Structure 1
Amino acid sequence: MKFLRRLFYLFVFFALFAFSLNNKKDVTVHWFFGYEWTTPLVFVVLASFAAGIALGVMAMVPAWWRQRAQARRQSALPDAAPSNLAAPTVQGIRDGL
């Protein structure tokens, strides 16, 4: 299994490497106020990918914080079961309760 995983990673690496070698041409990204950025296409793709990951992580941070706070609150509660939820007795199990 490790061999297949490493083979897959090697394939992905070579595919991305071939992609970068095939996209050496310069592209111009036009920003606001007349600013232009001229760079190889592979850098534009990598920058877009990194920006997408960063925005996705920033969008998930509030949910992560809420979940961590909720987990802390739940771990602070006592572990004792409420008295109205007592374990069923053998007689109750036989009777179908």
Structure 2
Amino acid sequence: MRYLFWFIKFFLFVIMFGFAMHNAEPVTLKFFLGYFWQAPLALLLLVFFVIGAVFGLLAAFSKIIRLRREIVGLKKELRARQTVTDFPPDLLVEQPRDAL
């Protein structure tokens, strides 16, 4: 199985390398105020893919932080309820807060 994954990785690398070599001509990216950037098409695609991935991670980061804080609060609440009552944790199960 390990060799299959290495073969797939190598195959994808060869395909992407071939794509990059076939698109090695310089491309001009024009900005406002007369600024421009000349670079190979494959490099521009890679740069903008990385920028998009970073923006996607930053967009998800706030949601992840909010959910982690909610988990910590719920764990504290559960610990507080367990110390107040002598019931086993199975009896402390509630319906979800957003249930209709």
**Under a length normalisation based on structure 2, what TM-score does the superposition of the two structures give?**
0.75
Match of 2:62 in 1: 62
Hey, what's the Cα distance between the residues in 2 that align with 1:13 and 1:71? 40
SS of residue matched to 2:39 = strand
Hey, what's the Cα distance between the residues in 2 that align with 1:50 and 1:70? 30
Q: How many residues align?
A: 85
Partner AA of 1:42 in structure 2: A
> Which is higher, the Rg of structure 1 or of structure 2?
1
Partner AA of 1:67 in structure 2: L
Structure 1 residue 75, shift from structure 2 partner: 2.0
- Superposition pairs of residues 15-30 of structure 1, within 5 angstroms: 15-30=15-30
Structure 1 residue 11, shift from structure 2 partner: 0.8
Hey, what's the Cα distance between the residues in 2 that align with 1:69 and 1:6? 39
Structure 1 residue 4, shift from structure 2 partner: 1.2
Superposed CA RMSD: 2.1
The unaligned stretches of length 5 or more in structure 1 are 87-97
List, as ranges, runs of 4+ consecutive aligned residues in structure 1 with deviation greater than 3 Å. none
Q: Does residue 75 of structure 1 match 2:75?
A: yes
The unaligned stretches of length 5 or more in structure 2 are 93-100
SS of residue matched to 1:24 = coil
Hey, what's the Cα distance between the residues in 1 that align with 2:64 and 2:56? 12
Hey, what's the Cα distance between the residues in 1 that align with 2:74 and 2:3? 42
- Superposition pairs of residues 1-97 of structure 1, within 5 angstroms: 1-77=1-77, 78=79, 80=82, 85=91
SS of residue matched to 2:29 = strand
**Under a length normalisation based on structure 1, what TM-score does the superposition of the two structures give?**
0.78
Hey, what's the Cα distance between the residues in 2 that align with 1:59 and 1:32? 27
